[in-house]
Structure 1
Amino acid sequence: MTDFTPFLSFAGGLMIGLSAVALMVVHGRIAGINGILGGFLSVRLNSDWAWRGAFLAGMIASPFIVLLATGRFPEITVPSSPLLLVIGGFLIGIGTTIGSGCTSGHGVCGMSRLSVRSITATVTFMTTAGITVYVTRHVLGG
């Protein structure tokens, strides 16, 4: 069971939305983490590389900012084995490649632009996630 945190959830969603809008306004780019990381890891060092690096550095630094603000790191509990995490990460990588984007690109940015492709992708991965949770918790007993 997870805690009900409407104010923290709203604040987090607001920050994600504002960062997506800011990236679109300033650089004209979609805030899809899959594409940002892929572009950063490419060998071309250009102006795109700098903003991608800054975006990724902000994601990495955010738990440390929480530590400075609250005196403790965010608590994260992962109820799965390391093997399942590796398998899940591998499957997500395949899915983001096949689906031409990730949850942030399609779910946050694409749906807000009413992209049919992004709406279809989001419905697909949310349905798959729901089925996966049901099967692992209620069928397999995990």
Structure 2
Amino acid sequence: MDWMTSLQGLIGGILIGLSATWLMATLGRIAGISGIIGTLVTARPPGDSAWRLAFLLGLISGPIVLMLAGGGAGNVAGAPGEVIGAPAGGVPLMLLAGLLVGLGTGLGSGCTSGHGVCGLSRLSVRSLVATVTFLVTAIITVFVVRHVIGGGA
């Protein structure tokens, strides 16, 4: 890893922390992506969906602005000129994985951004348990896929 990659990660982490702090300080809301997106349409009170839409547009437009400014696409592209490569396991597996992630965020009452970033910073024991569960599940999944099934590099 070179210094530029480390610097980009540091700046990205600072921006995530600042945006989560800003959202909590100004609106009293937790920057949990699954909750923000999940209640975008059904937001109560009705006027509460404007900030949710702005947050979602910021998630999408940030990387686009970075790429347009010549910052590249990070490590998601498989070849020069690609924005993102094809799903490693194919589209059906990607859709199934997305569905499982959605179900998991519902069962876990949040996602890694809500629990891992915002919950841990508030010293929430519930978020600590959720984050450890996310990480252990990810470690087991990578181990099974790479070493038991043999499907990854």
Fold-level match, TM-score > 0.5? Answer: yes
Q: Residue 88 of structure 1: CA displacement?
A: 0.8
State the identity as a percent: 54
Q: Residue 39 of structure 1: CA displacement?
A: 1.9
- Inter-partner Cα distance in structure 2 for 1:17 and 1:109: 8
Q: Residue 66 of structure 1: CA displacement?
A: 1.2
Structure 2 unmatched runs, 5+: 78-83
Structure 2 equivalent of residue 69 of structure 1: 69
TM-score relative to the length of structure 1: 0.89
Q: Deviations over 1:1-46 (max 9, x none)?
A: xx56211111111111111000001101000001111221216673
Q: Residue 62 of structure 1: CA displacement?
A: 1.6
- Give the structure with the higher percent helix: 1
Are residue 102 (structure 1) and residue 111 (structure 2) matched? yes
Structural mapping, 1:123-138, within 5 Å: 123-138=132-147
The 3 A distance-change label for structure 1 pair 99 and 71 is closer
Structure 1 unmatched runs, 5+: none
Aligned residues: 140
TM-score relative to the length of structure 2: 0.83
Aligned structure 1 segments of 4 or more residues deviating by more than 6 angstroms: none
Q: Residue 67 of structure 1: CA displacement?
A: 2.4
- Inter-partner Cα distance in structure 1 for 2:130 and 2:72: 36
Question: Which residue identity does 2:17 align to in structure 1?
Answer: G
Larger relative CO (CA 8 A, sep 6+): 1 or 2?
1
- Inter-partner Cα distance in structure 2 for 1:43 and 1:27: 14
Are residue 92 (structure 1) and residue 101 (structure 2) matched? yes
Instruction: Tell me the C-alpha RMSD between the 2 structures.
Output: 1.9
Structure 2 equivalent of residue 35 of structure 1: 35
